[in-house]
Structure 1
Amino acid sequence: MNAAAVMADDIARRADEMLSLWSSLSMRHIALGSACACGTGGVSLRLDDFELDIVGYLEDAGLRSGVEEVVGFFNALQQAGPQAQPLRSLLEDAMEERLPEAVGEWLMPKVERTLRSFAELHGPGERG
């Protein structure tokens, strides 16, 4: 197996792991406030409500990355318009090796850092 194939397999494996983590996390709820004495309840969001924010962060960082393939990829993604479940789509594209190698190499460490941070804050010990 050549180096490119090994790298593609590694990116696909990591994307699969991150998709599993996101699937688990995205169903959790977080409270953004608590009830007060007047009886008004707090606000609760599901973590999947942050999916657009995560992809927005990735797009912004990608467009500023200076890596030609990454910039081109995110420009094309923006031109394609909004997608349902864009983070899932990115991870599925990485799993199926549909991303350019440079994009996968750039993207996966950022996705891993972001989702692992979410998991630390809202992970298995939390109940949503």
Structure 2
Amino acid sequence: MANESALRADRLLALWSDLSMRHVALSGACACGTGGISLRLDDFELDIVGYLEDGALRSGVPALVAFFSDLQQAEARPQPLRQILEDASDGRLPDAVADWLLPKVEKTLRSFAELHGPRGGE
């Protein structure tokens, strides 16, 4: 099971690496010639982790609560989603955490890929 989780995490890390460099236009250009606002998808990384954390803490599953409580206590990391996926890839996440987390990350990233990627949900 851990090997399967590691392979899944590797695929998700590759997908996130691809997606995080893409841009999302938040508004169009106006008549004055000023361009709209554009963000890279990696600007949403903290939002994604916050969404996952909220679900985990509300789940009441002790392993998930402990993982995200520890994550809150840890020194702030500049790329928490990337770090979580790297930890899963290297087998450093408890199985219960990886089993809950990876499907949710995959669904989220596939959704981003469908909405903001020219290649769809590859």
* Offset, 1:120: 0.5
Out of 3, 7, 12, the residue aligned to residue 9 of structure 1 is 3
Q: TM-score w.r.t. structure 1 length?
A: 0.90
* Aligned AA (1:80): A
Q: Is contact 2:26–2:38 with CA below 8 Å preserved after alignment? A: yes
Q: Does 1:117 align with 2:85?
A: no
1:66 Cα deviation from its structure 2 partner: 1.4
**Distance in 1 between residues matched to 2:70 and 2:111, nearest whole Å:** 28
CA drift at 1:59: 0.9
Partner of 2:15: 21
TM-score (norm 2): 0.94
For residues 43-100 of structure 1, what are the alpha-carbon distances to aligned partners after superposition, in whole Å with 9 as ceiling and x for unaligned?
Answer: 0000010111101111111111111101011001001142111000000000000011
Shift of 1:37: 1.1
The letter of the residue matching 1:119 is A
Mapped partners of 2:43, 2:14: distance in 1:
17
Which residue in 2 is equivalent to 1:59?
A: 53
Segments ≥4 residues shifted beyond 4 Å: none
1:42 pairs, out of 26, 36, 41, with 36
Cα pair 2:113 2:119 within 8 Å, conserved: no
Please say which structure displays the higher CA radius of gyration.
Answer: 1
Q: What is the match of residue 73 of structure 2?
A: 79
2:58 maps to amino acid: R
What percent of counterpart residues are identical?
70
Unpaired runs of at least 5, structure 2:
none
How many aligned residue pairs are there?
120
